[in-house]
Amino acid sequence: MHQGNGLQGLNNGFAEHLPVLASELVDLLDPQPEDTIIDCTFGAGGHARAVADALGKDALFIGIDRDPVARQYFEAFERFQPCRCRFMQGNFSDALADLTENDFEADLIYMDLGVSSMQLDRPERGFSYSYGAPLDMRMDPGTNTTAENLVNELPYRDLVDIFRSYGEERYARQIAKRICYDREKQPFENTLQLVDAIKMAIPTPARFGAGHPARRVFQALRIAVNNELDSLERGLANAFELLAPGGRLAVISFHSLEDRITKQFFASRLGKCTCPPDLPQCVCGSRAELRLITRRPVSPTEEEISVNPRSQSAKLRVVEKL
């Protein structure tokens, strides 16, 4: 296997990245030696090393990531591959659109929508509520808007909407109210300030419930900072357009919002008749554009969860273009 070759020195003190559902992804994509493959969220290359093990010299592997740190992982990955390799830095929805405009075609496309270990385990990136760090949360440090901007500048109502829509936070109003109150005295600058405000805003029993009390708010801010859901909607459409007939598209999601968007996108292309039920025959002309490889999402085994607790909420869906 290519896995791990040349990458150990890149960890820089944070936990080794464990790709979620890697064996299941490879089995369902079924890569062939000559395939053209697009990894939409290359990260530290965990899934890439598993998928690329099946490739030969005639294959093409394209890795995309908006985080510039991923480039060094891709360069290390590339050195050990027999196939042609290409890295594209940027939002995967934009990169896929660029490929579409150039009449490109791919056999396999996959996207892992989770935050990678190289982001979570680097405190200075501000993604984690477990470390004191600047309120950043940008996947691409070259963009302008940070979590600090949102927390300090958005009106109360907008904060409530973000926490409800992107975090499904039941105490969105209380948390937004506390943030607005606290920032009048002192602007928010780091993650632990925000964690303290969240804890102060919610009822005492909720501080000790399942999961960290700041988890949903941090998720919501991260999604808002990086415009993740809009990127996913555009990215799914662009990825499907790029697929060759018989090509497969796989999505690993980590929360219900991502999974819902993915499920609805796939369902919209199943070709189900939309005619009123009283019509004697179909006139809508709907036809299937894909078939489901996974009728229900694939989840991690208990064994994988025990080794990598971050995998617990993952869901894998795979379709094939007709």
CB atoms within 10 A of CB 79: 12
Residue 2 lies in a domain: no
- Contact criterion met (CB below 8 Å) for 53 and 1: yes
Give me the sheet containing 290-292, strands edge to edge. Answer: 84-89, 60-65, 36-39, 106-112, 243-253, 315-321, 290-292
Residue 190 phi, psi dihedral angles, 5° rounding = -135, 165
How many angstroms separate the CA atoms of 319 and 233, rounded? Answer: 16
Domain count along the chain: 2
- pTM, entire model: 0.90
Q: What is the CATH number of the domain that holds 193?
A: 1.10.150.170
CB atoms within 10 A of CB 51: 23
Residue 13 shares a structural domain with residue 103 = yes
Residue 243 shares a structural domain with residue 219 = no
How many angstroms separate the CA atoms of 43 and 47, rounded? Answer: 9
pLDDT digits (tens, 9 = 90+) for 154-181: 999 999 999 999 999 999 999 999 999 9
How many angstroms separate the CA atoms of 202 and 17, rounded? Answer: 33
Residue 282 shares a structural domain with residue 217 = no
Which residues, in sequence order, are CB contacts of 246 under 8 Å at separation 6+?
107, 320, 321
Identify residue 98 by its one-letter amino acid code: D
Q: What pLDDT does residue 78 have?
A: 97
Residue 199 shares a structural domain with residue 283 = no
What's CA 290's distance to the chain center, in Å?
A: 22
Polymer length in residues for the chain? 322
- Contact criterion met (CB below 8 Å) for 105 and 87: no
Helix (H, G, I), strand (E, B) or coil at 162: helix
The residue among 277 and 213 whose pLDDT is bigger is 213
Q: What is the CATH number of the domain that holds 76?
A: 3.40.50.150
Position 13 pLDDT exceeds 70: no
What range does the domain containing 246 cover?
8-118+228-321
pLDDT digits (tens, 9 = 90+) for 283-313: 787 889 999 999 999 999 999 999 999 899 9
Residue 12 lies in a domain: yes
> Residue 254: how many CA atoms within 13 Å on its side-chain side?
20
Residue 136 shares a structural domain with residue 90 = no
Question: Which of residues 226, 244, 261 is at a domain's end?
Answer: 226
Q: What pLDDT does residue 117 have?
A: 67
Residue 3 lies in a domain: no
How many angstroms separate the CA atoms of 270 and 257, rounded? Answer: 21
Q: What is the CA radius of gyration of the chain?
A: 21
Range ranked top by mean pLDDT from 51-65, 107-121, 208-222: 51-65
Question: Which of residues 202, 226, 250 is at a domain's end?
Answer: 226
Helix (H, G, I), strand (E, B) or coil at 302: helix
Q: Which of 43, 41, 42, 40 is nearest to 14 (CA)?
A: 43
Residue 1 lies in a domain: no
Q: What pLDDT does residue 251 have?
A: 98
Identify residue 76 by its one-letter amino acid code: A
How many angstroms separate the CA atoms of 112 and 253, rounded? Answer: 7
Q: Which residue has tokens 């030696």?
A: 33
The residue among 268 and 1 whose pLDDT is bigger is 268
Q: Strands, E, within 97-170: which ranges?
A: 106-112
| Predicted confidence band of residue 16 (pLDDT cuts 50, 70, 90) | low
How many angstroms separate the CA atoms of 71 and 67, rounded? Answer: 8
How do strand 290-292 and strand 315-321 relate by DSSP bridges? antiparallel
Average pLDDT, the chain: 92
Residue 219 shares a structural domain with residue 263 = no
